[in-house]
Amino acid sequence: QTIDKNDLTASKIIRCVADYYGLTKLQLVSKTRTKNIATARHMAMYLCRKHLDMPYVKIGDEFGKRDHSTVMSACEKVEKGLKNDVTYSLSVDDIKPIM
């Protein structure tokens, strides 16, 4: 299944990732830093970057006015995770069809 770029928005990605991880949209954009919420947030930031080609600053704005460097490190973390940890790839594969 291909992802329709015109139909996809940051808030749609946030909603799908939140659903996938059993969280609320508010938890994803909140300041909470527990591991499960942070992982889900990183995943959502990464997907925004990858599928929407959004600038880091804009992604940061979508996630509770975070700094662009936070978004950059989140994306790097997920990319590293995709290489080294099979759970990341599984999550991305599971989330893509529901976006």
* 31 phi and psi angles, rounded to 5 deg: -85, 0
Model-wide pTM > 0.85: yes
Query: Reduced to 3 states, what is the DSSP secondary structure of residue 86?
Result: helix
pLDDT, mean over the chain: 94
Closest CA to 97 of 32, 31, 8: 8
Q: Tokens representing 70?
A: 């936070």
Q: Which residues are CB-neighbours of 31 under 8 A, at least 6 positions away?
A: 64
pLDDT tens by residue, 59-80: 999 999 999 999 999 999 999 9
How many CA within 13 A on the CB side of residue 45?
Answer: 33
